[in-house]
Structure 1
Amino acid sequence: MTKRRRARGTGRAGAQKLRAAVLAAVLAVTVSACGGGADGEGRAAPAGTDSPIAGSASPAATPAPGADASAAPTARPSRSPAAGAAVDLEAVALKPGDLAEFRMVDVPPIRTEPARDVSPAACRTVAEVRREAYDPAPSALVRRYAVATRGEHLGTGTQVSLAASTEDGARAVLAALRDAVRACAGGYTGDGRGTTAVTSGTPLDVGDESVSFHTSGRGTPTAYVLVRQGSVLLRFAASSATGGEPRMPVPVVVQQVMKLRAATD
């Protein structure tokens, strides 16, 4: 009897630790585009904020104060000039069961504002990509959270976004971002935050092209990967629940790009 009680206690403790890790990962990856921050870095939600994974079976993140969710781009089909076929972003976004070690959480569309007061001005594109304030604005935008529930990425939460654009527009965003990352090696100030350091990363060999960079400063360090697949921009922002240096979960990036590519081939 004593052994069975101990086993049940151990099982409950393990489950509690897992739930705590999942919750912490979601809170850490709450970025400005979906939670009211100003710079796109993962940050813990303020006390009293509803967690995206708390409560119902259909979780949703809490919009930023004053954000007009109805004004955000809707998840309607877009057309990829490269593939010549309609792409329903909602249909190709990662869903529960797509990745065994990750829990997928829906995030509602929220309008984002352009970055302001960024200095030097050459860094503005970095700040706006972190906010998902693309130019040109996407015609459709779908967001997910990928929360690692076990495995080597346990404790990491990744925001996954798919933005529909034109192929020329998507190419222009990636080209401007590459230039901005190179220009911002010394970091930038403004945009409502202190100095933000920007470090270039090694692009992943996925999609038609990609750009990787890392930000640190006030708040939680965040790793970013931007991928262009045809006319669709995919943005991945990963943060660690511990506040330490994050590692981008490559399986999340690869699986999402593969799902999109399969729908356009």
Structure 2
Amino acid sequence: MRRLLRFIGHRLYTTWATFWFVFPFVVTYPLQVLLSRQPRWHRYLHGLNRWWSMLFIRMWGVPVSVEIRGRVPAGQPVLYVPNHSSYIDIPLLFKAIPGHLNIMGKSSLAKTPLWGPIFGRVYITVDRASAVSRGRSLVQARQTLEAGRSLIIFPEGAIAPKPSEELLPFKDGPFQLAIATGVPLVPVTMPYNHRFMPDVKGLRVRFSKLRIVIHEPIPTTGLTLADIPALKERVARIIASEFDPAAAGIPPASTLRAQPRPAAQPAAKA
């Protein structure tokens, strides 16, 4: 009976979370399409996306802790480099980081129904298997920073298979970009997103606390490309310092299948 109640509770919560993820988007979809058509309106569309993110995270009812460890230089863009562990990384970043942000995401995001074309017009997409796409995305990213707009890039390039346990090797691109433009790097840790909505087949949602730590900015002025390995190691160490070993790994799916009985022990010989 306890397993049945837990299974029903998980399914009900998944339905609730899905509704509050989809409903605000459906209601605002015509306005999002309109605002995505003109670059001068993208600031308002990002504001709408931040409102959407804050609304459904609030309606999920999960406790969210936002910790800001250092002050971002006033009037200067920065490059945020967070770990990547879940489908909700982008909404949580949009909720926690104010301002008119840009973000770089994988090109497949632009192919998702309805929201994909909007994302592709407003933010930066990259196909990491294509050198042309990588080069184009870095040009767009540099233009973003030079225009005074902060940017988010996931240095791992993909969702890590062992979240809160191991980071994927960092790509050089974000660090080359920060050094070339002279903007500070801001490491960001999100240690529990995978517990709430893991990267698994289908949709799996579990009630879990969420936490985001925005670390102190790291200056890049005066650094050269030779400093990239040490810079990547420093950022990785800072991000991993806020991982919770108790939260490592993907939580199991709820199931009604009976637990296997332990094998019978052979009778002792007289």
For normalisation by structure 1, the TM-score amounts to 0.24
Between Structure 1 and Structure 2, the one with more strand by share is 1
Between Structure 1 and Structure 2, the one with more helix by share is 2
For normalisation by structure 2, the TM-score amounts to 0.24
User: RCO (CA 8 Å, sep 6+): is it higher in 1 or 2?
Assistant: 2
